[in-house]
């Protein structure tokens, strides 16, 4: 234990929480404080944990970026997508943002809206414990990747409609989002090529082929919840994405603009579904400037 604490001290960061090793700490600036593996639902499920990364030397209350990982709703964990976004993470922390990365149940464990219940419960935890971690409750933003982009969009777009099915009974709903950064997230489940296949990722998510159950697909599609009271969006998508068509992001961006919401779509030339091309200087600057507005 003494050797572990000395090692952490020499690396310039502090780890607080469960003993599980955080394999992403090397991406964060010196002085970052980690509150790791916090159980946000008062149970022992591995998928009901979150990590909070606090920036070095914060000044006052800290704005928070809620990081929602991708993986087709059936793989990965709260460390996913960080590895190829390391410069973005570093810049966010240096600009004084905290980051909370959340785990949620896979579709193979529980079908939709379980993922919404989990994510909203995690956000409720962050609101309830904001003072403890120095977070600014009035400056929460969402950043999601692929399936996480879908969930981030769902969380933001449905929040003002107060959908009971998306919240556990005791969940604190007293929160809102200042902005959403959506990296190549699905917007309409019926637009997938596999929408007639119950074993496709989107079919597994809702427990049926989206074209067989358009009612379930509608409830799980961000475009269904766009209205005039939504937060600003920055949507980023790869031109050559062969898993989630850029048409998904075109559609969401158009719906947001039709409703008068500030939204910008950035198509990254030559970019695939994910990877280090999304950590390029031009995109990082765009993301940081968007969050500052």
DSSP class of residue 230? P
The pLDDT value recorded for residue 59 is 87
- What percentage of the chain has pLDDT greater than the value 70? 93
Please report the pLDDT score of residue 255 as a whole number.
98
Distance, CA of 122 to CA of 101 (rounded, Å): 9
Mean pLDDT of 65-81: 98
The Cα-based distances of 235 to 117, 122, 185, 251, 267 in angstroms read 24, 23, 8, 11, 8
Lookup result for tokens 């193979």: 108
* pLDDT over threshold 70, residue 216: yes
> How far is it, in rounded angstroms, from Cα 24 to Cα 277?
19
Give the span between the Cα atoms of 208 and 266, in whole angstroms: 32
Give the pLDDT confidence score for residue 21 in this predicted structure. Answer: 75
What is the pLDDT at residue 12? Answer: 41
pLDDT (0 to 100) of residue 78: 98
10 pLDDT above the threshold of 50 = no
Structure tokens at 257: 């603009």
Indicate the burial class of 46 (C-beta count within 10 angstroms; 0-12, 13-18, 19 or more).
exposed
pLDDT in tens, 23-66: 999 999 999 999 999 999 999 999 999 999 999 999 899 999 99
Give the model confidence (pLDDT) of 235-289 as tens digits.
999 999 999 999 999 999 999 999 999 999 999 999 999 999 999 999 999 999 9
What is the residue-averaged pLDDT of the chain?
93
The pLDDT value recorded for residue 293 is 87
Of residues 263 and 170, more confidence is placed in 263
109-135 residue pLDDT tens: 999 999 999 999 999 999 999 999 999
Of 291, 52, 66, 63, the C-alpha closest to 179 is 291
pLDDT at 19 over 60: no
How much is the average pLDDT of 221-240?
98
Cα 262 to Cα 7, 95, 128, 178, 231: the distances in Å are: 46, 23, 29, 12, 8
What residue has token string 């765009």?
286
Note the pLDDT of residue 170: 86
Confidence of residue 6 (pLDDT cuts 50, 70, 90): very low
pLDDT at 251: 98
Q: Is the dihedral of CA 17, 82, 142, 291 positive or negative?
A: positive
C-alpha span between 238 and 246 (Å, rounded): 7
**Structure letter (DSSP) for residue 177:** -
Cα→Cα distances 285→205, 278, 279, 281, 288, Å: 34, 11, 10, 6, 5
- Measured between alpha carbons, how far is residue 56 from residues 14, 28, 106, 129, 171 in Å? 10, 10, 33, 19, 30
- Tally the C-alpha atoms within 13 A of residue 289's C-alpha that lie toward its C-beta: 7
Sole residue written with tokens 């989002």: 177
Report pLDDT for 219: 98
Query: Is the predicted pLDDT of residue 229 greater than 80, yes or no?
Result: yes
| Proportion of the chain above pLDDT 90, given as a percent | 91
Tokens of 289: 């400037």
Question: pLDDT tier at 15 (50, 70, 90 boundaries)?
Answer: very low
Task: Please determine, for residue 1, whether its predicted confidence score (pLDDT) is greater than 70.
Answer: no
Whole-angstrom Cα distance, residue 214 to residue 219?
9
Per the DSSP assignment, residues forming a β-bridge with 267 are 237
For the chain, which domains are there? 13-18+30-188+232-292 (3.40.50.1820)
Can you tell me the mean pLDDT for 62-86? 98
Name which of 17-21, 70-74, 124-128, 230-234 the model is least confident about.
17-21
Please state, in angstroms and rounded to a whole number, the distance separating the CA atoms of residues 169 and 130: 21
Copy the structure tokens of residue 170. 């005791």
């Amino acid at each position: 234990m003494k050797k572990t604490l000395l090692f952490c001290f020499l690396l310039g960061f502090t780890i607080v929480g469960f003993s599980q090793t955080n394999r992403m700490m090397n991406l964060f600036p010196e002085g970052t404080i980690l509150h790791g593996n916090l159980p946000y639902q008062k149970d022992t499920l591995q998928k009901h944990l979150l990590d909070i990364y606090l920036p070095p030397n914060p000044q006052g209350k800290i704005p928070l970026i809620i990081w929602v990982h991708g993986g087709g709703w059936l793989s990965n964990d709260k460390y996913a997508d960080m590895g190829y976004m390391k410069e973005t993470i570093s810049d966010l922390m240096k600009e004084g943002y905290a980051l909370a990365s959340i785990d949620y149940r896979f579709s193979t464990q529980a079908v939709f809206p379980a993922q919404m219940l989990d994510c909203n419960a995690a956000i409720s935890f962050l609101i309830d414990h904001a003072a403890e971690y120095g977070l600014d409750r009035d400056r929460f933003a969402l950043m999601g990747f692929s399936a996480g982009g879908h969930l981030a969009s769902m969380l933001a777009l449905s929040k003002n409609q107060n959908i009971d099915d998306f919240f556990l009974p005791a969940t604190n709903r007293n929160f809102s989002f200042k902005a959403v950064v959506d990296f190549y997230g699905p917007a309409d489940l019926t637009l997938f090529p596999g929408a007639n296949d119950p074993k496709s990722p989107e079919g597994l998510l809702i427990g049926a082929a989206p074209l067989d159950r358009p009612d379930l697909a509608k409830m799980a599609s961000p475009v269904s919840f766009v209205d005039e009271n939504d937060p600003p969006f920055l949507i980023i998508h790869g031109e050559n994405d062969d898993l989630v068509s850029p048409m998904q992001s075109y559609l969401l961006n158009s719906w947001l603009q039709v409703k008068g919401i500030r939204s910008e779509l950035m198509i990254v030339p030559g970019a695939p579904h994910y990877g280090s091309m999304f950590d390029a200087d031009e995109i990082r600057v765009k993301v940081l400037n968007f969050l500052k507005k």
